């Protein structure tokens, strides 16, 4: 049977991610504390580098008078010698809502340091921001026409000025140029034209060379391939396409270094793998492969029905730079696998095409999960809180809640066409490992260096919504909230995971963003 199964397993190679740290969802949402102040932070990184990042900060604690922000690298000298922070502008209509913009000058793992000043003193928090060019900006046709016209006018004027100077500079006032003067003027104009053409050619060469260099700096995600053996073991292999890698013999120093063997744990795992069946998004697995060798992860799969699956793998580099790798796997026959264990979880639902929007999802053990959706329509690019709760079989709030990988819950927002995937925590869209590094705590930096490629990175000392450091004694709520904003309009499926006792529940909900 396993031999027959192997013949039915076909590997479909590699998808390139649309953006780092999530797919097609570059905006950053964070619900955190800066000292005594609760903040809801939204950062929209630029699509080109250098570029301007847009900031929005909602002070959910009263008494905040001023907000300042400055971007720096997470590590290195640039993190220690930050420039003067920019003051964010408070809204005239709402003095607790601040906006601003910051220049991101280079690719890599950056942070935006936010300082809140108010009635309770000053509070500081650092928000990790992965910076990378995702596209090029084409010059608009009207601007091309205008610049060409101006350029031709300048070239013609320059040649005419040189010719007039050579022809008439030595003439007495009112004297007419002699044939010799005219010939000297024509020679000067021809020489000037050759010189101008040479300058234009050099400028065009320089322009094209810079364009090629910039295209090479556009973000290239680490590639991932997936294969399965007759025993049902999934093997994921990563290959580096060489993003920002200096060319042999080049004197340029790399601005940012990324390799496939510099990973650090996030929530005690080096990789968080979502496996979602397409096109219905009706089967989902949240698994955690183990590192077998640098750049290779393996996992014994659980029971899986046949179908085409989209794989999303979240990793974090030692620099704090997060990435989401993708691949596809085509199973023509079901996998007879292992039982789920540890932090692994799965769920099944009807396909999104055959599901009407519902705020309630029944899970197999009699519990149900509810989406506490408001009455306002969901709009793209609008930050909001997505609230869910778990109800026991008797219709009461579940009382035996437990932390799931150190948090009240996890969620994945997936667009039905596959163009968007975002793994979200109650704290927001940032990687917790990157957040720890961004706080510039010595113990966190030591962990990043000593525990590289090793599970078990501690998350102590982080006081953020949705987290609890004392899970053995605290009574946990049956509700969880996720800060997020849909990047584009369309239909989405939301997978929400909460834990009670030793059971991980997965709810499936559908949403439409306008």
Let me know whether 102 and 155 are in one domain: no
Q: Are residues 149 and 71 in the same domain?
A: no
Considering the domain architecture, whether residues 155 and 196 belong to the same structural domain is answered as yes
In tens, the pLDDT along 451-507 reads: 443 333 344 334 445 555 444 567 899 999 999 999 999 999 999 999 999 999 999
Residue 3 has pLDDT above 60, yes or no: no
- Which DSSP letter does residue 353 get? G
CA distances from 253 to 81, 245, 256, 362 (A): 20, 9, 9, 55
E strands, 288-352, in order: 290-293, 296-300, 307-316, 322-331, 345-348
- 14 and 118 co-located in one domain: no
In whole angstroms, give the CA distance from residue 234 to residue 231: 9
pLDDT of residue 421: 97
450 SS3 class:
helix
As a residue count, the chain comes to 514
User: Which residues in 418-442 are b (16+ Cβ under 10 Å) and which e?
Assistant: bebbbbbbbbbbbbbbbbbbbbbee
Report the pLDDT value the prediction gives residue 440, as an integer from 0 to 100.
67
* 242 falls within a domain: yes
Place of tokens 């609760």: 38
Q: What is the pLDDT of residue 176?
A: 87
pLDDT tier for residue 2 given thresholds of 50, 70 and 90: very low
Cβ contacts of 266 within 8 Å, gap of 6 or more: 272, 314, 315, 316, 322, 431, 432, 433, 457
pLDDT at 309 over 90: yes
| Pair (106, 247) in one structural domain | no
Mean of all residue pLDDT scores within the chain:
86
Q: Are residues 111 and 232 in the same domain?
A: no
- Please tell me what DSSP assigns to residue 49: S
Q: What is the pLDDT of residue 246?
A: 65
Query: What's the pLDDT at 273?
Result: 97
- The pLDDT, as a whole number, for residue 247 is 65
Question: In degrees, to the nearest 5, what angle opens at C-alpha 497 toward C-alphas 495 and 501?
Answer: 160
Q: Decide if 65 is inside a domain.
A: yes
Q: Let me know whether 210 and 342 are in one domain.
A: no
pLDDT, tens digit, for every residue of 86-141?
999 999 999 999 999 999 988 889 999 999 999 999 999 999 999 998 888 788 89
- 136, part of any domain: no
Q: Are residues 186 and 241 in the same domain?
A: no
Contact between 255 and 108 (Cβ < 8 Å): yes
Percent of the chain with pLDDT over 70: 87
Question: CA-to-CA distance for 80 and 366, rounded, in angstroms?
Answer: 53
Residue 155 sits in the same domain as residue 251: no
The verdict on 359 and 461 lying in the same domain is yes
Helices then strands (H, E): number in the chain? 6, 28
When pLDDT is averaged across residues 259-263 and rounded to a whole number, the result is 92
Average pLDDT rounded to a whole number, residues 282-299: 96
CA–CA gap between residue 300 and residue 294 (Å, rounded) = 18
Parent domain of 487: 2-21+220-513
Residue 376 lies in a domain: yes
**Are 290 and 374 in a shared domain?**
yes
The verdict on whether omega for the bond into residue 115 sits within 30 degrees of 0, i.e. cis, is no
State the pLDDT confidence band at 249, using cuts at 50, 70 and 90. low
* pLDDT, average across residues 256-269: 90
Task: Report the percent of the chain where pLDDT is more than 90.
Answer: 66
Domain identity same for 435 and 506? yes
424 in Cβ contact with 407 (< 8 Å)? no
Ranking 9-23, 109-123, 144-158, 179-193 by mean pLDDT, the lowest is 9-23
How many Cα atoms occupy the beta-carbon half-sphere of 396 within 13 Å? 5
| Two tokens, residue 129 | 């921001």
Mean pLDDT of 332-360: 90
Residue with tokens 């005219």: 182
Contact by Cβ (8 Å): 482, 386: yes
Say what angle helices 141-168 and 179-217 make with each other, to 10 degrees.
150
The residue from 100, 131, 162 where one domain ends is: 131
Domain count, the chain: 3
- Could you give the strand order of the β-sheet that contains 89-90, starting from the edge strand earlier in sequence? 28-34, 37-44, 51-59, 97-104, 89-90
């Amino acid at each position: 049977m396993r031999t027959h199964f192997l013949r039915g397993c076909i590997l479909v190679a590699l998808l390139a991610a649309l953006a780092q740290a999530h797919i097609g969802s570059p905006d950053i949402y964070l619900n955190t504390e800066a000292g005594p102040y609760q903040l809801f932070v939204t950062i929209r990184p630029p699509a080109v580098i250098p570029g301007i990042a847009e900031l929005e900060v909602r002070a959910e604690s009263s008494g905040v008078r001023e907000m300042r922000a400055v971007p720096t690298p997470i590590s290195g000298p640039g993190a220690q010698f930050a420039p003067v922070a920019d003051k964010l502008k408070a809204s005239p209509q709402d003095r607790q809502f601040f906006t601003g913009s910051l220049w991101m000058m280079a690719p890599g793992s950056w942070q935006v340091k936010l300082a809140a000043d108010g009635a309770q003193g000053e509070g500081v928090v650092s928000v990790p921001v992965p910076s990378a060019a995702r596209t090029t900006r084409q010059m608009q046709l009207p601007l091309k026409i205008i610049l060409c016209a101006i350029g031709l006018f300048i070239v013609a004027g320059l040649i005419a000025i040189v010719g007039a100077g050579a022809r008439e500079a030595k003439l007495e006032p009112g004297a007419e140029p002699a044939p010799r003067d005219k010939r000297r003027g024509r020679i000067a104009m021809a020489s000037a034209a050759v010189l101008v053409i040479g300058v234009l050619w050099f400028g065009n060469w320089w322009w094209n060379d810079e364009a090629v260099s910039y295209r090479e700096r556009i973000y290239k995600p680490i590639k991932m391939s997936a294969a399965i053996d007759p025993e049902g073991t999934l093997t994921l292999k990563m290959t580096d396409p060489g993003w920002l890698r200096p060319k042999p013999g080049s004197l340029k120093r790399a601005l940012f270094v990324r390799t496939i063997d510099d990973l650090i744990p996030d929530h005690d795992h080096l990789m968080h793998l979502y496996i979602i069946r397409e096109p219905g998004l009706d089967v989902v697995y949240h698994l955690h492969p183990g590192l077998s060798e640098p750049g290779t992860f393996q996992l014994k799969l659980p029971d899986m029905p046949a179908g085409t699956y989209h794989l999303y793998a979240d990793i974090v580099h030692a620099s704090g730079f997060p990435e989401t790798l993708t691949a596809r796997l085509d199973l023509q026959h079901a996998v007879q696998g292992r039982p789920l264990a540890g932090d692994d979880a799965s769920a099944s639902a009807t396909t999104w095409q055959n599901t009407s929007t519902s705020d309630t999802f029944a899970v197999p053990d009699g519990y149900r999960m509810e989406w506490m959706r408001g009455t306002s329509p969901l709009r793209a690019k609008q930050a909001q809180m997505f609230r869910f709760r778990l109800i026991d079989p008797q219709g009461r709030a579940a009382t035996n809640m437990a932390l799931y990988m150190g948090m009240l819950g996890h969620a994945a927002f997936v667009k039905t066409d596959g163009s968007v995937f975002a793994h979200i925590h109650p704290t927001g869209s940032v990687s917790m490992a990157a957040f720890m590094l961004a706080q510039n705590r010595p113990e966190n930096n030591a962990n990043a260096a000593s525990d590289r490629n090793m599970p078990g990175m501690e998350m102590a000392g982080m006081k953020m919504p949705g987290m609890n450091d004392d899970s053995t004694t605290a009574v946990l709520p049956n509700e969880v909230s996720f800060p997020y904003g849909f990047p584009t309009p369309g239909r989405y499926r939301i997978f929400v995971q909460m834990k009670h006792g030793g059971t991980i529940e997965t709810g499936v909900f559908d949403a439409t963003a306008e």
